[in-house]
Amino acid sequence: MPFSDYRTALVTGASSGIGAAIVERFSAEGLEVHAVARSAEPLRKLAERTGCVAHAIDVTDRAALADLTRRVEFDILVNNAGVDRPKKFLEAEDGDIDLLVDVNLRAVLHLCRMVVPGMVTRDRGHVINISSIAGIYNFGGNSSYHATKAGVSMLSNQLRIDAFGKRVRVTEICPGRVATDIFAHVHGDSPEIRERFIDGFELPEARDIANAIAFAVAAPVAVNIGHIEITPTLQVMGGLQTAKPQSPKSGDESRE
C-alpha cells in the first residue's frame, strides 16, 4: 500500500538514531508522524526539523500510551524503542531483566494490543517491529536481550495470523551493527567505545534502516515484506566454540 493511502504513524524511541531517521523519512512522505520518546529536548528539536508531533512519554507508561492511541487512529505503528544491559546472564540482576522485558517486549505487546485492533477494523495498517539479529542468532553476553528480541520476532509472525483476512501488514526489521549512538547509551560515550564499535568499520547508518522500512511500506497492498535482515557487508553471524572441561586450577579453553 503506497504512502498516500496512510495518514498517521506512531514511532517509539524517536528522539535519536533509527527512530529519528524513521520520523524524518515518514514526515518527508507527508504522514502525520507522532514521535514518542523519553527525552523532551531532542524531541522538540526533531519536531522543529520535521513537523512531527512530539510526545515525551516513556514506553513503559501504559496509561499515557493508552490515552494517545485512544485519541489518534494510527495507520502505521513502528515499535523501535529498545534498551540493553549487556552482561553474561549468570551475572544478570533482577533490575536488568525487568528493564529489558518492560521496554523491549512488554511495551511492544501493549502497543500492538492498543493499535492493531483498530487497523483490523479499518482493514488498513502496517506494523513495523524493530527487532535485531539477536532475536535470531546467538552471541555472548546479551541473554536477556536475545530473549526479548526473539519474543518480538515471534509476535511479528503471530500478528499476521491474528489479522488474517485483513489488509494489515507486519514487517520485522532485524538490524545488525548500525552506526548510531546506541553504543554510547549502553556502554558510555567515550573515544574507546567509538573505536570499539564504530570507528574504522563500514556500517549501515540510521537512514539506511529508515529507507528499508520505507521500501516495505511503499510496496503495493498485495505485498507484505515480512522480514528484512540488515547487516554490514563485513559482519557475519554464528561461529563454533568448543571448550575443554575446566579443573579448579585451569582455565584452558580451545576453540575450533
- Say if 13 falls within a structural domain: yes
Residue 200 or residue 186, greater confidence: 200
**Annotated active-site positions, please?**
145
* Residue 255, in any domain of the structure: no
Query: What's the gap between Cα 180 and its chain centre?
Result: 13
Per-residue pLDDT tens digits for 160-175: 999 999 999 999 999 9
Considering the domain boundaries, does residue 171 fall inside one?
Answer: yes
* 22, part of any domain: yes
Report the side by side order of strands in the sheet with 168-175: 53-56, 32-37, 8-12, 76-79, 125-130, 168-175, 227-230
Question: What would the pLDDT profile of 223-247 be if each residue is shown by its tens digit?
Answer: 999 999 999 999 988 777 778 888 7
Distances (CA, A) of 229 to 57, 138, 176: 29, 15, 8
Q: Give the DSSP per-residue string, the chain.
A: --GGG--EEEEESTTSHHHHHHHHHHHHTT-EEEEEES-HHHHHHHHHHH--EEEE--TT-HHHHHHHHHH---SEEEE-------B-GGG--HHHHHHHIIIIIIHHHHHHHHHHHHHHHHT-EEEEEE--GGGTS--TTBHHHHHHHHHHHHHHHHHHHHTTTSSEEEEEEEE-S-BSTHHHHHH-SSHHHHHHHTTT----BHHHHHHHHHHHHHS-TT----EEEE--TT---------PPPPTT-------
Q: Looking at the domain assignment, is residue 153 inside a domain? A: yes
Q: What is the pLDDT of residue 188?
A: 67
Q: Is residue 250 part of a domain?
A: no
Whether 167 is covered by a domain: the verdict is yes
Separation in Å, CA 176 to CA 1, 150, 172, 179: 27, 14, 13, 10
Find the domain containing 213 and state its range: 3-230
Q: 211 vs 2, which has greater pLDDT?
A: 211
At 238 the pLDDT is 77
Instruction: Answer for the pair 59, 103: CB distance below 8 angstroms, yes or no.
Output: yes
Q: What is the mean pLDDT of residues 50-79?
A: 98
Q: How many residues does the chain have?
A: 256
Residue 194 and residue 153: Cα distance in Å, rounded? 29
Query: What's the CATH number where 51 sits?
Result: 3.40.50.720
Q: In whole numbers, what is the pLDDT of the chain averaged over residues?
A: 91
Residue 255 confidence (pLDDT) above 60: no
Closest by CA position to 71, among listed 32, 21, 23: 32
More confident residue, 254 or 187: 187
pLDDT at 186 over 80: no
Is residue 253 pLDDT above 60, yes or no?
no
Tell me the pLDDT band of 147, cut-offs 50, 70 and 90: very high
Query: Domain count of the chain?
Result: 1
**Is 256 contained in some domain?**
no
Look at the block and give the residue holding cell 539506511.
208
Q: With contact defined as beta carbons under 8 Å apart, do 248 and 238 qualify?
A: no
188 exposure class (CB count in 10 Å sphere: 0-12, 13-18, 19+) = exposed
pLDDT tops 80 at residue 11: yes
